Amino acid sequence: MQQVPAAGHPSGRRDRWAWLALAPSGAWCLLLALTVFFGEFSERAVVVLGLAFPLLLLLGACGLAYGSIAALVFLVTGRWRRAVSHLLGIGMLALTVLSVPTLGDASRYVRFKVNLPAYEARIAEWRARHPDSTPARLVLENRDLSVFVTATLFESIIFDETDAVLSDPCPLLRGDRDLCRMEMFVEPISGHFYRVTES
C-alpha cells in the first residue's frame, strides 16, 4: 500500500528537483572564478573585474543569506533533499570566496608562463646588442592595474641575474631615486624573474 506523505511535507515528486538549488550557486561560483582568473590577462578584463566584483559579492552575500535561512527551514520541516542542496550551495559559495587569492596567484603564474617566450626573446635581443655586458636587471613589462577609484597599483616583471632586486629599495631603475617613495613588494616568480608591485 502506498503511503500518503504527512501533512506539511512535500512529496518525493516535489523534492525531485531540489538539486536545482545548486544551479545559481554554481553559476555564481563559475562567474567569480572566471572573472578573477581572466582579469589577469588583459586591461579590459581588469576593468570588467573592477565593475563586476562588487556586484558579484553582493549577489553572493544575498545567496548566502537566502541559502542559510532556507536550509534551516528545510532542516526543521524535514525536507532533506532541499536542505542538503542548499547546504552544498552555501559550501560552494564559501569555498569559492576563500579560493579567490589562490585563483589570483594561479592566473598570475599562468600569465607569466604564457608570456615567458616573449620575455626570453627580449633578454636574448638585449644580449645580442650588448655582447660584452651581463644584464644585471631588465624591466620586461610594466602594467597599470589601477581601476577607477581604487588605489594606484602598478606591476612590473623584472629579470635580474644578480638577484639584487630582492634587497634594492628602488628595484625599477628610475633615474631619480627620490621617485621611489611608493611601497614596493618584490615577489620571486621563477629563476631570475621577479614581480614588483607598487602601491
Lowest-pLDDT choice from 108-117, 131-140, 163-172 = 163-172
Give the DSSP H or E segment for 155.
strand 154-159
Give the residue with greater pLDDT, 127 vs 49: 127
For 116-151, letters b (16+ CB in 10 Å) and e give beebeebbeeeeeeeeeeeeebbebeeeebebeeee
Domain ranges of the chain: 18-98, 116-198
Give the residue with greater pLDDT, 160 vs 135: 160
- pTM tops 0.85: no
pLDDT at position 20 is 65
| Torsion sign over Cα 98, 146, 118, 188 | negative
Q: Name the pLDDT band for 46 (thresholds 50, 70, 90).
A: low
Give the residue with greater pLDDT, 27 vs 150: 27
Residue 128 has pLDDT above 80, yes or no: yes
Q: Name the pLDDT band for 187 (thresholds 50, 70, 90).
A: confident
How far apart CA 89 and CA 107 sit, in angstroms, is 25
* 67-89 pLDDT tens trace: 888 888 888 888 888 888 888 88
pLDDT at position 117 is 92
* Average of per-residue pLDDT across 170-193: 69
Q: What percent of the chain has pLDDT above 70? A: 73
